Structure 1
Amino acid sequence: MRGSARGLFVGRSVVLLLAAGALAGCVADKDVTGSVMRASASREVATGDREGQLRRMAATYAAAYEKNPNDPGAAYAYGVTLRALDQRAQALAVLESASIRHPAQRQILAAYGRSLADAGRLEEALKVLGKAHLPEQPDWRILNAQGAILDQLGRTAEARRYYESALKIAPGEPSILSNLGLSYALAGEPAKAEAVLLQAVANPKADDKVRANLAMVQGLKSAGPAKKPTRG
């Protein structure tokens, strides 16, 4: 890695990465999973008005990005903050450009892959997330996102293998269990879905979206097997 390519981890870029790190963690699972924010990450934006804080963060990162769009830290921070604000088209544009400029930066590739999934470009998202993930350095968030994308593509058996791998790294993680529960629900197995989602909500890190998924599945279960839920 030459000169400026190291900027993602040294110099002023590391400040942006540290500031955006928790945020990136929380939105990592927002894309295609039942969990929006992890407890550890939500504290970064939970005090006061969340949207207001995100907008202030976006303004800060936008200024840094406009000043130097080649700065990987600025592009990454700006892109994930835009995703948190649901400005998905703009986030995709920023992260796509960053991935072209910095094809070896796995954090950027991971964020870009999730942004592609936001846009419904699922096959492309899988390819990009595959490049962002190293088997020798497994990341449960990427595995979880890959699993959820595979579920949307109807590749249920493959999806569940990804969830199982993710759970080996992060046992009991509610966002993974939420995805697995939805996988069972989408396959018309509400009893299994409910059991898994009950495990998810038992975790103190479970958020309102996970609890809403459980309520939805319980409603479907009581209504009978004819209906299937859709991912939120």
Structure 2
Amino acid sequence: MKHQWRASLKAGLASFVVVMALALGGCATTGQTDNTTTGSIPSLGKPVDQMTPAEVSAATQTMGQAYAKSPKNPRIGIAYASLLQMDGRAPQALAVMQQVAIANPKDRSVLAAYGKAQAAAGELQDALSTIRRAQTPDRPDWRLYSAEGAVLDQLGRSDEAHTAYNLALQIKPNEPTVLSNLGMSYVLTGDLKTAESYLRTAIKQPGADSRVRQNLALVVGLQGRFAEAETIAAQELSPQQAAANVAYLRGMLSQQNSWKQLAANKGTPQQQSASGQ
């Protein structure tokens, strides 16, 4: 029961909201020129995760043309791979990052993005190795620790993931993306109250984005407080989108007969399974 519920929940999370903020640098939002290599990065006007599918497809084509002219440019390669992932082309994104990593073997941003591409393609052990190789003990990067935690969560190694997130928070206290990742990590272990606490802290921080708010809405909904979840989600989604998300969540939990248990504070199916119920 425990593993079945966890697998079903993870599948539902993927459809409901972007759970883990694994992105590491190279967001395709700038029009700056990279001074170390030839080629300029096209300006896309807004963050990739705020684009419509049509905008992502158009931006992918534009960035692909820039990549064809300058395939060794790390920032162009990272931006192109990010767009490819958003466009549902994870294998191609991985192939791009493999080539960029070969050309820039010591660039930590490249290695981090390569690890992200590996994780998106399902190569989790390779992703973990790549991200850890990019980390340096004398100059640790909080983004790499957060990414490591996200991969460890996908591998089911929650205790190690929590350690990685806390290392990130030591370097970057109250960073909302790390707090959000840590909160969602507790969702995957069934500790919804702790998850909500971290997410409420995250949403109060400057720079907290839509993903943090939607993750909070998800966790509130998982506890059976659907009206409150819809109100939280509707602050950034349209009322129709928020209602659709909550309806999906309600249906997902109803199929498992677990939302009533959560709403009644009887514990998650994981916790009940552990107690033999």
Looking at CA atoms only, which structure, 1 or 2, has the larger radius of gyration? 2
User: Which residue does the alignment assign to 1:45?
Assistant: 47
User: Which residue does the alignment assign to 2:267?
Assistant: 225
1:185-228 deviations in whole A, cap 9, x for unaligned? 22222211111111112224223322222222223334242247
Structure 2 residue runs of 5 or longer lacking an equivalent are 1-33, 225-261, 271-277
2:169 counterpart of 1:167? yes
Is the partner of 1:79 in helix, strand or coil? helix
Note the aligned Cα RMSD (angstroms).
2.8
How much has 1:150 moved relative to structure 2?
A: 1.0
Distance 2:193 2:123 in 1: 31
In percent, how many aligned pairs have the same letter?
Answer: 39
Distance 1:194 1:73 in 2: 35
1:117-143 deviations in whole A, cap 9, x for unaligned? 111211110001112222222222211
**Residues 208 and 75 of structure 1: CA distance in aligned 2, closer, same or farther (over 3 Å):** closer
Distance 1:212 1:73 in 2: 29
How much has 1:64 moved relative to structure 2?
A: 2.6
User: Which residue does the alignment assign to 1:82?
Assistant: 84
**Residues 57 and 138 of structure 1: CA distance in aligned 2, closer, same or farther (over 3 Å):** farther
**Matched ranges for 1:137-176 at <5 A:** 137-176=139-178
Residues 202 and 212, structure 2, Cα contact 8 Å, conserved in 1 = yes
| Amino acid aligned to 1:90 | Q
2:54 counterpart of 1:12? no
Count of aligned positions: 197
Higher helix proportion (structure 1 or 2): 1
RCO greater where, 1 or 2, for CA within 8 Å and sep 6 or more?
1
Counterpart pick for 2:199 among 193, 197, 202:
197
**Residues 161 and 211 of structure 1: CA distance in aligned 2, closer, same or farther (over 3 Å):** same
TM-score, with length taken from structure 1: 0.72
How much has 1:71 moved relative to structure 2?
A: 4.0
1:83-134 deviations in whole A, cap 9, x for unaligned? 3434322211111122233322222111110011111211110001112222
**Matched ranges for 1:59-138 at <5 A:** 59-138=61-140
- Runs of 4+ in structure 1 off by over 6 angstroms are none
TM-score, with length taken from structure 2: 0.62
Distance 1:94 1:196 in 2: 35
Distance 1:149 1:181 in 2: 15
Distance 1:226 1:89 in 2: 35
**Residues 220 and 50 of structure 1: CA distance in aligned 2, closer, same or farther (over 3 Å):** closer
